Amino acid sequence: MPGAAGVHLFETWPTLGTLAGIAACPVMRCLSGATGRNGVKKEANMEYKTIVVHVDESPQAAVRIDAAARLAIEHNAHLIGSALTNLPPRLLALSGLDPSLPPVQAPLAELRRLADSALDAFEQRANALGVLSFERRRLEEEIGLGMSLQARYCDLLVIGQHDAAHPLPGMRADFPEYVLLNSAKPVLVVPAGARGASIGAPLGQRIVVGWNGSAPASRAIASAIPLMQRARQVDIVVADARAQGDLHGATPGADLALYLARHAIRVNVRDVDSHADAGRALLAAAGEAGADLIVMGAYGRSRFREVLLGGATRTLLRSSTLPLWMAH
């Protein structure tokens, strides 16, 4: 499909042979690691070069697209708008091949039309915002699984919070949770109640980081380093540090602050008492800081324990009015 001048549109997945050819290209080898004047190769800064955003016909899709597009512009990234029919292709294939199975009665043409309409809106908005490289992608797959699979070939997934007020037919209620648990990359969850103006400015000017010493929190923080390097203010919030024994050392948050300082990120560290609700404490701290983004790990303890006992992940996925940068 032709795009505007300077815009690259791709309709297909690259093959392994294509990827190997790119890796062998002298230009791409040069871009992968710059060489200084003394001939010593310098390690390239971590960036986001491929961003996938979930698009659909919901009222909140435009806000997700705007957030993803602005990140793509800021980081010179390739942006992929992905619309899914929510019909696994294997279901259609099995129904057609096995006479013992009942035929699948699904409005496939209508589902494809809705996906294409959502992709048209994505393309128009990406063009309007000035995204230099993007593609539209329609997949015949269940939404949660399809988005999780695409995470293997991108640097960031952008999805929406579950919107109980405007549920889409066939959309699983645990869509954000499923994607977080089954993606190997960070996920940006845009709140259901967000409006375009609320995230119209570059995302991540004031960031609050939820730190509990867990591996998911560490992964989320490492993946957000490029954002934090551009931020005006970064606050590390440690909840109930004294109740966690020696997990945080003598000075809670100090080790993390030193780690981030080596990446040229200056932070403020706050130790707060959660009163047994770390999620609410983190939201309150974000409000006090005037944050526009929360960075945190997802499901630092098992999802089963979160369902039974509650937890910060469930609280924020249900209640946050700020975008969430999360990793599991």
Mean pLDDT of the chain: 80
Provide the pairing of β-strand 324-327 with 50-54: unpaired
Cβ atoms of residues 266 and 234 within 8 Å: yes
The pLDDT assigned to 24 comes to: 43
Q: Are residue 63 and residue 141 in the same domain, yes or no?
A: yes
Q: Are residue 71 and residue 187 in the same domain, yes or no?
A: yes
- Residues 6+ away with beta carbon under 8 Å from 6: 132
In a domain, 8, yes or no: no
Q: What is the pLDDT of residues 4-51, one digit of tens each?
A: 434 444 443 443 344 334 334 433 333 334 433 333 333 445 689 999
Q: Are residue 106 and residue 217 in the same domain, yes or no?
A: no
CATH label of the domain that carries residue 122: 3.40.50.620
Q: Are residue 182 and residue 251 in the same domain, yes or no?
A: no
Question: For the purposes of burial, counting CB atoms within 10 Å of the CB of 233, is it exposed (0-12), middle (13-18) or buried (19 or more)?
Answer: middle
Q: Are residue 152 and residue 251 in the same domain, yes or no?
A: no
How far is C-alpha 18 from the geometric centre of its chain's CA atoms?
Answer: 26
Cβ atoms of residues 55 and 112 within 8 Å: no
Cβ atoms of residues 92 and 85 within 8 Å: no
Closest residue by Cα to residue 32 from 42, 21, 19, 18: 42
Cβ atoms of residues 116 and 18 within 8 Å: no
The pLDDT assigned to 172 comes to: 86
d(CA 147, CA 157): 8
d(CA 302, CA 216): 11
Final residue belonging to a domain, choices 133, 165, 192: 192
In a domain, 28, yes or no: no
d(CA 276, CA 85): 41
d(CA 82, CA 249): 43
Q: Which tokens belong to 196?
A: 């375009």
Q: Are residue 141 and residue 236 in the same domain, yes or no?
A: no
pLDDT lower than 50: segments of the chain: 1-44, 94-97, 196-198, 304-310
Strand, helix or coil for residue 231: coil
Q: Are residue 315 and residue 254 in the same domain, yes or no?
A: yes
Domain around 161: 43-192
d(CA 7, CA 78): 10
Q: Are residue 71 and residue 177 in the same domain, yes or no?
A: yes
d(CA 35, CA 237): 38
Q: Are residue 186 and residue 219 in the same domain, yes or no?
A: no
Final residue belonging to a domain, choices 136, 169, 192: 192
Q: Tally the domains of the chain.
A: 2
Q: What is the pLDDT of residues 244-277, one digit of tens each?
A: 656 666 677 899 999 999 999 999 999 888 777 8
Final residue belonging to a domain, choices 141, 164, 192: 192
In a domain, 256, yes or no: yes
In a domain, 15, yes or no: no
Q: Which tokens belong to 135?
A: 């593609």
